[in-house]
Amino acid sequence: MKKADIFEFFRRLAELNPDPETELEYGNVYQLLVAVVLSAQSTDVGVNKATRALFRDVKTPAQMIALGEEDLKQHIKTIGLFNSKAKNVIGLSEILERDYGGEVPADRDSLTALPGVGRKTANVVLNSAHGAETFAVDTHIFRVCNHTGLAKGKTPLAVELGLEKKVPGPFRVGAHHWLILHGRYICKARTPECWRCPVVDLCAYKAKVLEKPGRKALS
């Protein structure tokens, strides 16, 4: 995708959604971190259902430690991989309480040293909580970037580095959210809804679905 097209791509997405934000529900940076850790291989909708009751009572690492791993499992048992996620959340909470006074660090290296926190999770926290110009590449963003030609890559890191180079200044903070929402609701994995895509003319994807599939006739 050419430089001018990339600018226009984000300009249109920004015009439709000027203030994009994560769909995960949270009340502070610690809760955001926990929600993102829980969201791995799970939907935001599913995570939000599980954390609403949890976050009413647990707002700090100390409160999470007091809750304990077994009770945490009961709150999040509807989420995939809940056993390992509960262990990681308790583990990272203990580190935050012990080494950071209960605060969440604001740098990637410190975040990725926490249990269950990879580069993608750290980038989401830095972007959503601190407005950092980071690009958290999940399956949606990986697909959108490769389909459109925005930032092709064989790995999430390759796509992230491509976005680092290509996303224009005015759109760097919001890019992650625009791309994930675009992938979640329009540029879908099974059937991309190109017929209603605001950037379809800028997209390099060859197998575009330009007409909405009709219902099969009843026999």
Q: Is 87 assigned a catalytic role?
A: no
CB 163 within 8 A of CB 1: no
Residues in contact with 194: Cβ distance below 8 Å, sequence separation at least 6, in sequence order: 200, 203, 205, 208, 209, 210
- For 6, how many CA atoms within 13 A lie in the half-sphere containing its CB? 19
Q: Is 154 assigned a catalytic role?
A: no
Residues in contact with 186: Cβ distance below 8 Å, sequence separation at least 6, in sequence order: 192, 193, 196, 197
CB 154 within 8 A of CB 143: no
5, 120, 152, 212: which is the annotated catalytic residue? Answer: 120
Q: How far apart are CA 185 and CA 192, in angstroms?
A: 9
145 in a labelled binding site? no
Q: How far apart are CA 107 and CA 217, in angstroms?
A: 56
Strand spans (E) along 2-118: none
138, 201, 208, 212: which is the annotated catalytic residue? Answer: 138
CB 118 within 8 A of CB 112: yes
Residue numbers in the known binding site for [4Fe-4S] cluster are 187, 194, 197, 203
State the catalytic residues: 120, 138
Residue numbers in the known binding site are 187, 194, 197, 203
